[in-house]
Structure 1
Amino acid sequence: MTSDDRSSYRRRKIGQALRRYREERNLTQDAAARLVERSPATLSAYENGHRAVRPRDLGQILDHYGITDARERARLLDLAAQGRKDGWWLDYQERTDPFIVDYASLEGDSSRIRAYEAQVIPGLLQTKAYTQAVFSAYAPVMEGPIQAGALEFRAARQRILANSGRPVTWVISESVLRTPIGGPRVMEEQFTKMLDVTRAAHLDLRVLPTAVGGHPGLDGAFSILDLGSEEPMKVVAVHSLVRSWFIDDSADVSYYEQVHDALAALALSKGDSRALLERIACEL
C-alpha cells in the first residue's frame, strides 16, 4: 500500500464531509462525479478516505456542491493541506502501528495538547529506558516482538516539545510517579527528564494527588488535540488494549474538555507538582 492509498484521520474526515454533501443533494456517486468533473472511482476514493485530495481540487468540489460556509471550507481545506505535508512520521508507516503514526501527524500539527494519564508517564516525556520498560511489561502477552522502530518512534515524537511553543498540559495520577517501572535507576532518570523538560513556560505538568479519591478521570487516559489556531477543530484520542480511536463529535469533545478542566482543577499547581516530583525522586 502506498502512502497515497493509506487512510488517515484527515482523509476520512474530508471523505465523510464529501459523502454527506453528496447525499444531502440526493446525488448518486456517478451523478456527483459528473457534477464535480471527476471519475466515479476518484470520487469514491476521496469519500472512503483512501486517496489524498489536493486543496485546489477540494475547493473546486466544494464549489460544485455549493458549500459557502467559510468556517467549514477553511477547516476542510486546512485538513487537505496538512495531509499532504511530508513529516518525519512517514518513515515509520511500515514499521509502526498506523494509528500511532496518524496520531503523531495530528500531534505535530496541533496548536494545543491536553492530556490525562493514569498509568504511565506521558509518552512525550518518557526516557528511552522507561519506554523500553513499558514495552517489556507487555512481552508475556504479546503474540510477536515489539515492532521495529517503535522505541525510536516514541523518542522522535518528543521533538515537538523543543521545536515549538505550543502549550501542552498533562495531568497525571500520583500513582504513576510511585510505580517503579524499570526499577529505581530508570525512574531516577525519568524524574530528572520530567523536571528538566517541563521548566519551559508552555509545558504544564500537573499531578493529581492520590488523596483526591474519586474523580472524573476514572475511565482512563485520553488526549485532546486542537488543530488550527483560529476556531480550531478539536479531536480526542483514546487508547485501549486492543484498539485506539479518534472522537470529534462536538458534544463528546466538549465532555472530554470538561473532564480535563475538572482534573486540572483537582491537581496540584505546576509549582507544587514539581515539588512533589522532587520529593518522590529523593525517596528512590
Structure 2
Amino acid sequence: MDNVVGELGWGRTKLIRIESAKVRLSAADLRKLGKLYGADANDLARLHELMDAAGSTPWFAAYTDLLTAALMEYIELEAMAAQIHMANTGVLPGLLQSRSYATAVYESQPHIPDPDQAARLVEVRMKRQRVITEDGVPLRAIIGQALLHVATGGRDVLKEQLGLLAEMSELANVELRVVPFSAERAILTSGISVFDFDAEPGGDQEPSVAFTEHEGSMLLRDAELDVRRFRRLLDHLATQSLDPDESRHMITKRMEEL
C-alpha cells in the first residue's frame, strides 16, 4: 500500500476506498495503476471493459483531464459524504458560490487558466453543489465577515452572491454562520473541510477525513488525530460566529447596502 501511495501521490484513504469498492476507479487512475504494476495494453483494455460493466461512471470522471489528483479526490469524497463541515475566511466555499462569483475567483488567481478551462472549472463547481441542493447533505459552513465586503468580480457580482448565500442559508440542511469583525478568538489561516460518512450496513463506521486548502494546494488529512484537531477548530470557530439567523440578517443587510 505505501508503495502505491508514494508512487501515485494518493492519500491512503483513497486507496483504501478503492480497494473496498467505496470509490469508483476512474479511467485515468486505472491507467496509473496499470503502469505501476506493468499491465500491458490487453490487460488494461479488459480491465476497462470490466469497469464499464460494473456501472455508470460518476459525473466528475469527465473532468479527469482538468482536475488535479487532490481536487479529484476531494470531489469524490465530497460526493460520498453524509455530512460536511467547513470554514474559510479567504474565499467563499465552492459549495456556496454563484456562477459569476466562481468565474471571478478563477479570473483573480495568480495562474489564470485559459477561458475554456476556466469555464469547465466553473461548471465543475456548479455541479458539486448538487450534494447540497439536490441530495440534501447537511452542511455547516463558517465564513468571515470580510467576505461580505470584498467585491470579487465587482459590486453586481457580490450582490448576486450575497443573495445566493441568503437563499442557501434558508435550506433546512444548511447551517451558515458568519464570524464577525468583533470576534476576539477566531484565527483561520487556511480553508478547512471535514467530511463524515455513513457506516455500511452491518459494518464499521467509515473514518472521517479532513482537507486543508492553501494558495494553490490542497492536502488530505486522514489521521484520526488530525481530523479530531480540525473538528475541534471548526467547533471553536462556531462559538466565535453569529448564529444562523444573525448571520442571515447580516448577509441581507449587507446586500441591501450595495
The answer for the alignment partner of 1:145 in structure 2 is 114
CA distance in 1, matches of 2:63, 2:221: 24
Q: CA RMSD in A?
A: 2.8
CA distance in 2, matches of 1:268, 1:11: 35
Please say which structure displays the higher CA radius of gyration. 1
After TM superposition, give the deviation of residue 158 of structure 1 in Å. Answer: 0.8
Equivalent pairs, count: 217
Q: Give percent identity, aligned residues only.
A: 24
CA distance in 1, matches of 2:154, 2:183: 27
Q: 3-state DSSP class of the match of 2:208?
A: strand
> TM-score, normalization: structure 2?
0.75
The answer for the alignment partner of 2:134 in structure 1 is 163
The answer for the alignment partner of 1:60 in structure 2 is none
> TM-score, normalization: structure 1?
0.69
- The correspondence for 2:106, drawn from 135, 150, 161, is 135
- The correspondence for 1:111, drawn from 44, 68, 82, is 82
After TM superposition, give the deviation of residue 190 of structure 1 in Å. Answer: 0.6
Q: 3-state DSSP class of the match of 1:238?
A: strand
The answer for the alignment partner of 1:208 in structure 2 is 179
Q: Which runs of 5+ in 2 are unaligned?
A: 1-7, 21-32, 38-43, 48-54
After TM superposition, give the deviation of residue 143 of structure 1 in Å. Answer: 7.0
After TM superposition, give the deviation of residue 142 of structure 1 in Å. Answer: 1.8
Q: Which aligned runs of 4 or more in structure 1 are off by greater than 3 angstroms?
A: 6-11, 13-17
Q: Which runs of 5+ in 1 are unaligned?
A: 1-5, 18-40, 46-50, 55-83
CA distance in 1, matches of 2:216, 2:126: 23
Higher relative contact order (CA 8 A, sep 6+): 2
CA distance in 2, matches of 1:204, 1:116: 12
User: What one-letter code is carried by the residue in structure 1 that aligns with 2:188?
Assistant: L
User: Does structure 2 retain, via aligned residues, the 8 Å contact 1:121–1:177?
Assistant: no
Q: 3-state DSSP class of the match of 1:164?
A: coil
CA distance in 1, matches of 2:62, 2:157: 28
The answer for the alignment partner of 1:123 in structure 2 is 94
User: What one-letter code is carried by the residue in structure 2 that aligns with 1:250?
Assistant: E
User: Does structure 1 retain, via aligned residues, the 8 Å contact 2:106–2:113?
Assistant: no
After TM superposition, give the deviation of residue 242 of structure 1 in Å. Answer: 3.4
